[in-house]
């Protein structure tokens, strides 16, 4: 392929809204252009790499035995009403209406579409397990699309869905998908951190997220310095230290008795601890949350003073899809006290959730449910009780690993892929069934497995670039070899054309910079678009005996002079070596 006949609009300027390297480089190297907020067009060079990532994903999916299908992107709203997500998903779901006034959604994910297809075809246990996938456009009306294609509104996802007669069969496919994902990311030259989430709302089912480290990552990862514990902060737990209620009566008896003290004008945890000269770890703060579970419209949450609530854990615990802090007016109406004076002693107007940390404080300072007063020496199990004692804390760096007790630290990361045992959530709500060996009707269990193609591509650039441009791994490079004649004329032109033809005949993907530009411009562009092997052909080298050309890897500083004769075979061997070892 000749550069002049390809469309590579490279740029020197960086778009103002490009905050991360991959976003800047995808623009500058002419891989993408923005159509609108969160909507991008891939240009020819970008699309070549995009297709390569897709192919790697497709090969590894096929190798698991999953079968590719191609449903539509526009999905009947009816199916989403059946699953309930039409109502629960919120504004990320783009709902549309056709000329007959029928509801549709632009698929943000496809559990409903796949499950509806399977429901219509599934009769017997003999058809299971069944694993299907697509590599297809998704649309999510993200509130804040950002970082280019990392978080767009329209993107391409590989999503697979599997259906099984039992947990063992689901686990087999889940494990195979996990292995395939590791292989996909390895082939793309990506270092991923698999983050297991062994507990969750789905009840004992498994889930694993594949994260890449990123300063601007949307996920906080909690990792252990001593063992391989890694969890998303939404799910992370830690070892609790301190007294527990189960320690029982004799401990309670030795505690000093509850004491009410005037604390005029003191509202914050920091101020009350300062006033009473006590450690923040012996204080308990009480927060009130609103929930959309109509059985529990409000819930009080008690946390040790220095620990923050994890709203994902809390929402799961109270079985709500949305929660938020109640207003001060709500607090006054329900508790007769404002925010700074809330506490669990005598609180009857709503259920209390005590975080494990709060139940573990031996004697604590708490608000007295009366403005201007606090209690000293409040003891859980003696002075107050909770509806539920559970882990609803946000784990942070410095907490202790739940597995080995080692110190936890945190990193920011981006999710590239997710595998998930869904269980019966969709197969039940959408009434999928099959007949088992005894002719009895059964509901299949289900798994789902997603990878974002665009985000994977952007992450490859995040991991493989320098200050001059992209440094593509061979496996996903838009072209494998870039031939740069210093001047595309005379002997250099002839040598370049011949080498390109030979390399292409061997099977290499070659871009030939035939532009009439200064060498400096060509070299800068070469570094920017990041083709793994660069061959420079100039009259000087060709005048040597035997004639020589220069070969340079994009990932290395040094270059080598090689003999023009047999150079095609030698360069092609480098291509093959690069393909075999992407990292
Ligand atoms: P995130 O927490 O980043 O929003 P998610 O949990 O919503 O991700 P899933 O629903 O698990 O993501 O989707 C599977 C994959 O699709 C993600 O791992 C990611 O690679 C990709 N993906 C999700 N949202 C976007 C987006 N807005 N732009 C690009 N890729 C996305
Ligand atoms: Mg999301």
Distance CA 461, CA 399 (A): 33
Which residue, among 221, 204, 237, 233, has the nearest Cα to 404 in the 3D structure? 237
Q: What is each CA distance from 158 to 186, 372, 408, 412, 502, in whole angstroms?
A: 17, 57, 33, 24, 36
Is 0.75 surpassed by the pTM of this model?
A: yes
Specify whether 69 is located in the same domain as 191: yes
pLDDT at 442 over 60: yes
- Would you place residue 339 in the very low, low, confident or very high pLDDT band (cuts 50, 70, 90)? confident
Q: Could you tell me if residue 351 is inside a domain?
A: yes
Residues 54-76 pLDDT 10s: 999 999 999 999 999 999 999 99
Q: Could you tell me if residue 186 is inside a domain?
A: yes
- Would you place residue 464 in the very low, low, confident or very high pLDDT band (cuts 50, 70, 90)? very high
Specify whether 482 is located in the same domain as 567: yes
Specify whether 479 is located in the same domain as 527: yes
**Ligand 1 centroid vs 132 CA: distance in angstroms?**
19
Residues 205-218 pLDDT 10s: 689 999 999 888 88
Q: Could you tell me if residue 101 is inside a domain?
A: no
pLDDT at 249: 53
Residues 20-52 pLDDT 10s: 999 999 999 999 999 999 999 999 999 999 999
Specify whether 163 is located in the same domain as 288: no
Residues 503-559 pLDDT 10s: 999 999 999 999 999 999 999 999 999 999 999 999 999 999 999 999 999 999 999
Specify whether 360 is located in the same domain as 323: yes
Which of 91, 415, 454 is the best mutation target for the ligand 1 pocket, counting ligand atoms within 8 Å of the beta carbon and taking the most? 415
The atom of ligand 1 lying closest to the CA of 152 is: 28
Q: Could you tell me if residue 136 is inside a domain?
A: yes
pLDDT at 198: 54
Q: Among 400, 431, 461, give the residue marking a domain's end.
A: 461
- φ/ψ of residue 357, rounded to 5: -65, -40
Q: Among 440, 461, 482, give the residue marking a domain's end.
A: 461
- Would you place residue 18 in the very low, low, confident or very high pLDDT band (cuts 50, 70, 90)? confident
Specify whether 134 is located in the same domain as 269: no
Specify whether 305 is located in the same domain as 274: yes
Contact present, 545 and 525 (Cβ < 8 Å): no
pLDDT at 352: 96
CATH number where 418 lies = 3.30.930.10
Specify whether 279 is located in the same domain as 148: no
Please name the residue whose Cα sits nearest to atom 3 of ligand 1. Answer: 415
Contact present, 339 and 378 (Cβ < 8 Å): no
Please name the residue whose Cα sits nearest to atom 26 of ligand 1. Answer: 151
Distance CA 387, CA 372 (A): 26
Pocket of ligand 1 (CB under 6 A): 109, 140, 142, 151-152, 155, 157, 218, 415-418, 450-452, 454-455
**Ligand 1 centroid vs 220 CA: distance in angstroms?**
15
Q: Where does residue 194 rank: exposed (0-12), middle (13-18), buried (19+ CB within 10 A)?
A: middle
CATH number where 489 lies = 3.40.50.800
Residues 349-399 pLDDT 10s: 999 999 999 999 988 999 999 999 999 999 999 999 999 999 999 999 999
Sheet holding 284-291, edge to edge: 323-325, 284-291, 298-304, 352-355, 388-390
Specify whether 282 is located in the same domain as 376: yes
**Ligand 1 centroid vs 90 CA: distance in angstroms?**
16
Q: Could you tell me if residue 10 is inside a domain?
A: no
Q: Could you tell me if residue 399 is inside a domain?
A: no
CATH number where 330 lies = 3.90.960.10
Q: Among 461, 477, 499, give the residue marking a domain's end.
A: 461
Kind and range of the H or E element at 378? strand 373-378
Please name the residue whose Cα sits nearest to atom 23 of ligand 1. Answer: 452
Mean pLDDT of 454-475: 97
Q: Could you tell me if residue 124 is inside a domain?
A: yes
Specify whether 435 is located in the same domain as 481: no
Beta bridge partners of 517: none
Specify whether 365 is located in the same domain as 445: no
Q: Could you tell me if residue 23 is inside a domain?
A: no
**Ligand 1 centroid vs 417 CA: distance in angstroms?**
7
The atom of ligand 1 lying closest to the CA of 420 is: 11
Specify whether 370 is located in the same domain as 310: yes
Number of independent structural domains in the chain:
3
pLDDT at 473 over 50: yes
pLDDT at 253 over 80: no
Mean per-residue pLDDT over the chain, rounded: 93
Containing structural domain, residue 361:
249-390
């Amino acid at each position: 392929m000749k550069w002049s006949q390809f469309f590579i609009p490279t740029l020197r300027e960086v778009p103002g809204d490009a905050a991360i390297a991959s976003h800047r480089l995808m623009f500058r190297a002419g891989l993408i252009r923005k159509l609108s907020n969160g909507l991008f067009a891939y240009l020819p060079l970008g699309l070549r790499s995009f297709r390569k990532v897709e192919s790697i994903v497709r090969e590894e999916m096929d190798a698991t035995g999953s079968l590719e299908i191609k449903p539509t992107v526009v999905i009947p709203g009816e199916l989403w009403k059946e699953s309930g997500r039409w109502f629960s998903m919120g504004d990320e779901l783009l709902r549309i209406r056709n000329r007959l006034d029928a509801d549709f959604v632009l698929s943000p994910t496809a559990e409903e579409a796949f499950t509806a297809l399977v429901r219509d075809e599934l009769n017997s246990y003999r058809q299971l397990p069944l694993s299907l996938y697509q590599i297809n456009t998704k649309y999510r009306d993200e509130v804040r699309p950002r970082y280019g294609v990392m978080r767009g509104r329209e993107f391409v996802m590989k999503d697979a869905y599997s259906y099984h007669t039992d947990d063992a069969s689901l686990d087999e496919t889940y494990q195979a998908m996990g292995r395939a994902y590791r292989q996909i990311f390895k082939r793309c030259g990506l270092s991923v951190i698999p983050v297991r989430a062994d507990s969750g709302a789905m009840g004992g089912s498994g889930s694993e997220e594949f994260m890449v480290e990123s300063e601007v990552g949307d996920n906080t990862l909690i990792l252990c310095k001593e063992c391989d514990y890694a969890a998303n902060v939404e799910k992370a737990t830690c070892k609790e230290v301190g007294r527990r209620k189960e320690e029982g009566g004799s401990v309670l008896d030795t505690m000093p008795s509850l004491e009410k003290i005037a604390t005029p004008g003191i509202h914050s945890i920091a101020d009350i601890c300062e006033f009473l000269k006590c450690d923040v770890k012996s204080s308990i703060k009480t927060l009130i949350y609103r929930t959309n579970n109509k059985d529990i419209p409000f819930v009080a949450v008690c946390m040790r003073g220095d620990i923050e609530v994890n709203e994902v854990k809390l929402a799961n615990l109270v079985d709500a899809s949305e929660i938020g802090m109640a207003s001060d007016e709500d607090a006054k109406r329900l508790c007769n006290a404002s925010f700074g004076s809330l506490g669990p002693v005598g609180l009857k107007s709503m259920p209390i959730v005590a975080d494990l940390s709060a139940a573990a404080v031996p004697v604590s300072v708490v608000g007295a449910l009366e403005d201007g007063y606090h209690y000293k020496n409040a003891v859980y199990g003696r002075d107050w009780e909770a509806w539920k004692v559970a882990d609803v804390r946000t784990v942070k760096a410095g907490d202790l690993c739940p597995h080995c007790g080692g110190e936890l630290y945190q990193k920011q990361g981006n999710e590239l892929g997710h595998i998930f045992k869904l269980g019966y959530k969709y197969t039940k709500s959408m009434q999928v069934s099959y007949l088992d060996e005894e002719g009895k009707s059964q509901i299949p269990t289900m798994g789902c497995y997603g990878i974002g193609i665009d985000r994977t591509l952007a992450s490859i650039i995040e991991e493989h670039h320098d200050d001059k441009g992209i440094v593509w791994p061979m496996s996903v490079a838009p072209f494998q070899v870039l031939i740069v004649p210093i001047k595309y004329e005379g002997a250099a032109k002839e040598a370049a054309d011949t080498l390109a033809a030979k390399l292409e005949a061997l099977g290499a993907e070659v871009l030939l910079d035939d532009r009439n530009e200064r060498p400096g411009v060509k070299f800068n562009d070469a570094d920017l678009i990041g083709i793994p092997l660069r061959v420079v052909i100039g009259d000087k080298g060709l005048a040597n005996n035997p004639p020589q050309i220069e070969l340079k890897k994009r990932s290395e500083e040094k270059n080598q002079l090689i003999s023009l004769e047999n150079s095609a075979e030698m360069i092609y061997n480098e291509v093959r070596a690069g393909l075999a070892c992407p990292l």
